[in-house]
Amino acid sequence: MKPVILDVDTGLDDACALLLAARHPDLDLRAVTCVGGNVGLDDVVINTLTVLEAAGRTDVPVARGAALPLLQPMLTAPHVHGVDGLGDLDWPRSTRSPSTTPAVELLRQVLLDGAAKGEPVTLIPLAPMTNIALLLRTYPEAAAGLREIVFMGGGAGIGNVTASAEFNVYTDPEAAAIVLAAAGELGVPVTMYGLDVFYDVVVTLEQARGLGGSPAADLARKLIEKRTELYGDGGASIGDGGAVCAVIDPDGLTTERFPVRVELAGSWSRGRTIVDTRDFAIDRSTDPDGVSPTVIEVATAVDASRYAELWLGAVK
């Protein structure tokens, strides 16, 4: 079993990811940390506890993290995830309380414990990376317990919240820039599961309606039905769930190594992930901006049907 931590701003697609991580037999979900993003932090925490309860995983500690981005005002997405973040579904809300340990401290504890046991942990941020930036700058020694970071965010020349930026990175671009810089400095492998593949892993409405019989399966069905209602076309992407699939089954994801940095200024490009796809054979010494020192794996293609079946098999 691969030890993993999810960092979430639980909306509809984070819920798809949580169900998968909580129920797949190849993953050991050691903690979930919450950050404001798709909805405010209070709703994120309740949504996360609710999904884990449906998955039968009330043993997993859930911690409150950053309520706001490092520098800019909060941006939420009720038009995508509903006012409550879970599509305003008629679903019983958890009354369980989160851990009293703050998110950054819980991350530190779990990672240092993994390092001490020789069990490095895969960290899967599916949200603005405020918590992760605070962790790596406050406790860089915790990186000893990281096997890798696989984050949902960014894109190679594609955006959604703006023409050039993806929501998670745009919501806290300083945090994303800090995480990439720290990972490069600390030698932590990083994979970017971005918009280039985010929409590709689709579960059809017919497949979703075959789910049922347990709270997890019932919730999984409702999530796809709600996302289909929003996006149409007879099915819906599992979104963030694809990043978890990539940790379980990395052979289903095609990646290429590129230098990547985050644009922090720019009238129209703040929050864009600048993926340097230039031929490595060319002379870059004359580039006035220099080349990003952080080189990461960037997802360029995905075996969509393979990941859809993986998700369906775990949540049924």
Name the band, by pLDDT with cuts 50, 70 and 90, for residue 24.
very high
Give the pLDDT score at 281. 67
CATH number, domain containing residue 94: 3.90.245.10
**pLDDT averaged over the chain?**
96
**Residue, of 108 and 289, whose pLDDT is higher:** 108
Residue 137 inside a domain? The answer is yes
Q: Is residue 106 part of a domain?
A: yes
Does the structure show a pLDDT above 90 at 181? yes
Q: pLDDT tens digits for 1-18?
A: 999 999 999 999 999 999
Give the span between the Cα atoms of 177 and 99, in whole angstroms. Answer: 28
pLDDT of res. 279: 81
How would residue 232 be classed by pLDDT, with cut points 50, 70 and 90? confident
Residue 207 forms part of a structural domain: no
Residue 160 pLDDT > 90, yes or no?
yes
The answer to whether residue 215 is domain-embedded is no
Is residue 221 included in any domain, yes or no?
no
pLDDT digit string, tens, across residues 59-81: 999 999 999 999 999 999 998 99
DSSP-derived secondary structure for 162-176: SSS--HHHHHSHHHH
8 Å CB contact between 37 and 132: no
Pairing of strands 27-34, 2-8: parallel
pTM confidence score: 0.97
Q: Is residue 232 part of a domain?
A: no
Q: What is the DSSP string of the chain?
A: -EEEEEEE--SHHHHHHHHHHHH-TTEEEEEEEE-SSSS-HHHHHHHHHHHHHHTT-TTS-EEE--SS-SSS-----HHHH-TTSSTT-S-PPP-PPPPSS-HHHHHHHHHHHHHHHT--EEEEE-S-SHHHHHHHHH-GGGGGGEEEEEEE---SS--SSSSS--HHHHHSHHHHHHHHHHHHHHT--EEEE-HHHHTT-EEEHHHHTT--SSHHHHHHHHHHHHHHHHH-TTEEE-TTHHHHHHHH-GGGEEEEEEEEEE----TTTTT-EEE--S-TTS--TT-TT---S-EEEEEEEE-HHHHHHHHHHHH-
pLDDT band at residue 314 under the 50/70/90 scheme: very high
Which residue segment(s) compose the domain that 57 sits in?
2-199+238-315
| C-beta of residue 103 within 8 angstroms of C-beta of residue 139 | no
Widest distance between CA atoms in the chain: 62
Give the pLDDT of residue 312. 98
Q: Which residue has the higher pLDDT, 230 or 156?
A: 156
Confidence of residue 285 (pLDDT cuts 50, 70, 90): confident
- Residue 248 placed within a domain: yes
Say if residue 23's pLDDT is above 70: yes
Convert the pLDDT of each residue in 119-130 to its tens digit: 999 999 999 999
pLDDT given for residue 251 in this prediction? 98
Classify residue 14: in a domain, yes or no: yes
Number of domains in the chain: 1
Nearest to 168 by CA among 44, 276, 273, 245: 273
